[in-house]
Chain A
């Protein structure tokens, strides 16, 4: 077994490459969402970060913040984790939009409501992966989505447990997005595994 900590740190060129691929993916993901809800979607921020494991939950407003998370893992030629994070009340507004209900009509999360959110996660996550996979001739297959109401940190633990087996830092692409009326908004997190970065960099001709 390799006894060194894998260094996930990206140099400037690698960061630029990962950034441009992530942006292609996020663009495709947001246009998928726009088609799904039949509204314009705006990205209010996009950041690419490398953070120590201990600080990673701060990305979503703190580890103990109650959120509705839609989680997908992906595997295939590379692996990683995708998550949509919504304030619970905003998630309900999104469900109203998806189900064509009057605003405020959705109060609980039963099977149909969870399925609507899950399908949104499936479309956003798949569209993100489609763009990157096609750009690099890879196959990246998402898992079925899981919709979870819990503390943000508790949901993210599954990603950290996988990534921290090899590294101490986590690379995250974080996008805040919303409809122009801000009725629906959320955060889309992409947390690649160490192997994902190796694969995309070597497929693009950069050795990691």
Chain B
């Protein structure tokens, strides 16, 4: 230490930091891009949708205040009722089946055996398949004259069904293709969840000599429950938001049997140019998803902090 320093007064006040006020803003700076984008493309349109749902409106904008008229109208309309029915049925057809199928595949491939990587890749492959591509393939498979389903029916001597043109079967057909499309993602998540379970738990179970199904019931499923819970919620939400396969396979028909809510919103807003009614339906969709998400938070609070 040099002498100059020693000559300094024993206790000097340091210079007050200049940056302290700016430091508070710095954090916001990093968040700014997200905040702006969320404001413009999530929060603003959400409020705008709620706002528009109280107006008679077209694609240009609102032109007359309508109060709850839009809601009255859609709730009374047969079209919306069939849309709700189609949506609920669609969700019930697809979600449980997807989860069970994905869980079954995940359990099958959780053992480390030779070549398992190939099977895992196969089973997750539908995650890489776009809705449009998958729908086009399934459309061909459902083709009544040359599709594979008809060929099988023919071969078995069963009557050929017009899968996508028959109101009794169309929703089922769309659901079947959707189950196939969504299995990949659910499988990937569940497999990840299975692999996060501490292998010592299984080693201990093996030492204790319990059966496979006992392990499944007492170790695997409880330990997997947060993951299961997550994927169930996500699947529900995704199912509520189905659009692409409807647009390509059935266009909501026949006789509105597959007119699920998002397709109905799309049709009202962009084809019928009735933005008010579309907005009212969007608000209802929003509340459905909100309830599901809140349910997820409430029920899964302890194990799942957020999805």
The answer to whether A and B come from one shared complex is: no
Chain B interface (Cβ within 8 Å of chain A)?
Answer: none
